[in-house]
Homo-oligomer: A and B are copies of this chain.
Amino acid sequence: MVKQKKIFLDESEMPRQWYNLAPDLPNPLNPPLGPDGNPVSPDMLAPVFPMNLIEQEVSQERWIDIPEEILEILVRWRPSPLVRAYALEEALGTPAKIFYKNESVSPAGSHKPNTAVAQAWYNKQFGIKKLTTETGAGQWGSALSFACSLIGLECKVFMVRVSFDQKPFRKMMMNTWGGTCIASPSMETQAGRNILAKYPDTPGSLGIAISEAIEAAVSDPTGETRYSLGSVLNHVMLHQTIIGLEAKKQLAKVGIKKPDVVVGCCGGGSNFAGLSFPFIYDKINGADIKVVGAEPFSCPTLTKAPFIYDHGDVAKMTPLLPMYSLGHTFIPAPIHAGGLRYHGMAPLVSAALKDGLMEAQAIHQSECFEAGLLFAKTEGIIPAPETTHAIASAIREANLAKEEGKEKTILFNFSGHGLMDLVGYEKYLNGELTDYEYPESEIGENLKMLDGYPLPK
């Protein structure tokens, strides 16, 4: 008897609604604030985002219909498989059942297209012709180029220069889907020109790239360009909940009413939220589920940062968001999990942590790569460096179950494959990987800049 490994849903069983955590939070979300300290109104965001997405951003509806045209594109790879990791369980000698939701099967190789497709579609509906965005390591820029290609929008990606130079394949991926990718800072925006005038050799940063992408959107005289963000915002979390909603149906197919532990890695928060929010809904309604966010020790937003109002970007172009933040000027150490090098955390994830609906673990990258290698050699797929954080955390939980002698069900999000990010593995295997210490004093300095800012309730 060959054991069943993958649990599929028929396309006809795909969730028809996204889940919005906002109305179910024990304490209402603090609103985003403008430069004057007053709440930002939807109108003020209109030059940046289309109104249909702004409505989702502030929605208090629990369930939001997924338009059929979006489902038509998502079914190219969704429902994604839920996989029982028998070989990993055996290698660990754990009594736990480990399942992972395999989001690496999307054409861009990660969970990012779930929201890229939705955002591109809503923009197109609103009459927008072109999207701008920033990308660090390149996952998000690739996903948005992919989505714009299928939906029929132009796409322009400002890629942090150091990554642009180090990862030429990401740019080629975007080009193949018809996207334009340029190194940031660039001469195309005032923000870019200002930085280049001052620091001609700067490696760039995500903060600068965000500033350029927003400027490129709002300064288009035709008014037909908008900006798109791949994480952090409420509507991005919303679009990702299809992951957890599918996983619940898939677990039910093999007779599992609820997992005992749900794990995701946390950068801006979107893949974590996508898997976990539907289970946090059950938790709010009485289910006993441990929900764990795994983050890099060198960028410990959930485990060490204060809950404050801070900007989403270095250049303070975004409103103030209520979140755990290490300070918007904090530059995380150069770990390989580029997608987890973010100073803040999605307001919805921050609220879940503050309200005790989840807990967090910080992990060093050497432990993560060790976990990633074990996964590759047992389950077969090479994980993205970001994803190795979720695997390392799931392994910790599986070892705990072994100590306790409990047959727990552990579910984690396999957010992406690592075929475009193999350098980290090479360095780990060559013993060249550094585990960075957490720069407590530096963060203290960063946070001082926020003295006098309002505090969330």
Q: Which chain B residues border A10 with CB–CB below 8 Å?
A: 8
Given that A72-B2, A75-B5, A75-B6 are known contacts, is A380 also in contact with B422, CB under 8 Å in the complex? no
A338 at the interface (CB under 8 A from B): no
Give A380's nearest chain B residue, CB to CB.
B107
A4-B11, A4-B12 are known contacts. Are A380 and B146 too (CB-CB below 8 A)? Answer: yes
CB within 8 A of A178: which of B6, B377, B379? Answer: B377
From residue 159 to 193 of chain A, which have CB atoms closer than 8 A to chain B?
169, 172-173, 175-178
When C-beta atoms are compared, the residue in chain B nearest to A419 turns out to be B419
Mask, A1-32, CB within 8 Å of B = 1, is: 11111101011101000000000000000000
Q: State whether B72 touches A378 (Cβ < 8 A).
A: no
Q: Does A382 contact B (CB under 8 A)?
A: yes
Residues of B within 8 A of A2 (CB): 11-12, 14, 68, 71-72, 75
The interface centre, meaning the residue of A14, A73, A419 with most chain B CB atoms within 10 A of its CB, is A419
Q: In the docked arrangement, what's the CA distance between A173 and B422, Å?
A: 7
Chain B residue contacts of A173, Cβ below 8 A: 382, 419, 422
A107 to B381, CA, bound (A): 5
> Bound complex: CA of A319 vs CA of B388, how far in Å?
46
A177 touches B376 (CB 8 A): yes
Interface centre among A6, A10, A423 (most CB of B within 10 A): A6
In the complex, A109 has a CB within 8 A of chain B: yes
Contact B419 A175 (CB under 8 A): no
| Contact status of A150 and B380, CB under 8 A, knowing A373-B176, A420-B419 | yes
User: Is A121 an interface residue when CB atoms closer than 8 A count as contact?
Assistant: no
Q: Min CB distance, A303 to chain B, in Å?
A: 29
Asked whether, in the complex, the Cβ of A150 is within 8 Å of the Cβ of B4, the reply is no
Minimal Cβ-Cβ distance residue in B for A66: B2
The 8 Å CB contact of A87, one of B150, B176, B426, is: B150
8 Å CB contact of A377 from B75, B76, B149: B149
Within 8 A of B (CB), among A384-429: 419-420, 422-423, 425-426, 429
> Does A40 count as interface, using CB distance less than 8 angstroms?
no
Q: Does A105 make an interface contact (CB < 8 A)?
A: yes
Name the contact of A105 in the complex, choosing from B4, B105, B178, B377 (C-beta under 8 A).
B105
Contact yes or no, B11 A176, CB < 8 A? no
Q: Give the nearest-CB partner of A146 in chain B.
A: B380
Q: Which residue of B lies closest to A8 (CB)?
A: B8
Known contacts A76-B379, A378-B150, A379-B76; A175 and B425 CB within 8 A of each other: yes
The smallest C-beta distance from A123 to any residue of chain B, in angstroms, reads 18
A403, chain B: closest CB distance, angstroms = 27
Residue of chain B at shortest CB distance from A4: B11
A74 (CB) vs chain B CBs: closest residue: B2
A380 cross-chain contacts in B, Cβ below 8 A: 73, 76-77, 107, 146, 149-150
| B-chain residues with CB within 8 Å of residue A382 when the two chains form the complex | 107, 173, 176-177
Interface centre among A73, A87, A107 (most CB of B within 10 A): A107
Asked if A177 meets B72 with Cβ closer than 8 Å, knowing A109-B419, A172-B425, the reply is no
Taking A4-B11, A105-B105, A176-B425 as known contacts, 11 extra A-B pairs with beta carbons closer than 8 A to each other, sorted by chain A number, are A1-B68, A6-B11, A6-B76, A107-B381, A109-B419, A149-B380, A169-B419, A173-B422, A176-B422, A177-B377, A419-B419
Q: Can you show 22 pairs from A to B with CB atoms below 8 A apart?
A: A1-B68, A2-B75, A5-B75, A6-B11, A6-B75, A6-B76, A8-B10, A73-B380, A105-B105, A107-B381, A146-B380, A149-B376, A150-B377, A169-B169, A172-B425, A172-B426, A175-B425, A175-B426, A176-B373, A176-B422, A176-B429, A177-B376
Interface residues of A (CB under 8 A from B): 1-6, 8, 10-12, 14, 68, 71-73, 75-77, 83, 87, 105, 107, 109, 146, 149-150, 169, 172-173, 175-178, 373, 376-382, 419-420, 422-423, 425-426, 429
**Smallest CB-CB A-B distances: 5 pairs:** A172-B422, A107-B380, A107-B381, A176-B425, A172-B426
